[in-house]
Amino acid sequence: MAGDGTRHLPVRLERGVSLSLGLGAAIFLLAMMLVTTVDVAGRYLFATPLPGAFELTQLLLAATVFAGLPLVTLKEEHVSVTLLSERLKGRAAALHGALSSALSAAVFIVVARQLGVQAMRLASYGDTTSLLRIPMAPLAWTMSVLAGLTAFILVALAVSHLLGAIRGRR
């Protein structure tokens, strides 16, 4: 039934995921900007850089990139070279979309798995950053989950494009 709200669940889910990931990426980016501003101001005004600024910037950059990947994938807004794809129409374009999404999904499945393996290693060693002693495993796990989410979205896009090819439209 349309009145019970279940019909729009995928749209609501997409909006929720988009909002959460976008907000997360924005917060990480803002934090990175603040760290850089405080570091530069401290360096020039007081001749004292922010301790651990380099480590914080590295961690925040990784978090920003991996929070943005599923969001950009969901909206199909990746930077791409369109030498061939602009010329494709109809079924050919849909098949191209399905194939590129499926191949990208395979890559992200490998990335997610390898990040998971690395997260387990980091957790077993108790690895931390050098200066601030921030544990590395939680970030690696988060990156693994976000890469897995990106792979899941790419599989869904591949299926969507494939169904479009079967139906004869993009």
Place of tokens 């889910």: 13
SS3 content of the chain, % helix, strand, coil (to 5): 80, 0, 20
Note the pLDDT of residue 169.
Answer: 59
pTM, rounded to two decimals:
0.85
- The whole-angstrom separation of Cα 60 and Cα 108 is 21
Contacts 24+ apart (CB under 8 A), 35-42: 35/60
- pLDDT given at position 112: 98
3-state secondary structure of 128: strand
List Cα–Cα distances, 111 to 44, 57, 158, in angstroms.
40, 22, 18
**Do the Cβ atoms of 97 and 157 come closer than 8 Å?**
yes
Alpha-carbon span 41 to 156, nearest angstrom: 46
Q: Which two tokens stand for residue 34?
A: 């603040």
Give, for all 170 residues of the chain, the pLDDT tens digit. Answer: 344 343 344 778 788 888 999 999 999 999 999 999 999 999 999 999 999 999 999 999 999 999 999 999 988 888 777 777 777 777 878 888 889 999 999 999 999 999 999 999 999 999 999 999 999 999 999 999 999 999 999 999 999 889 888 887 55
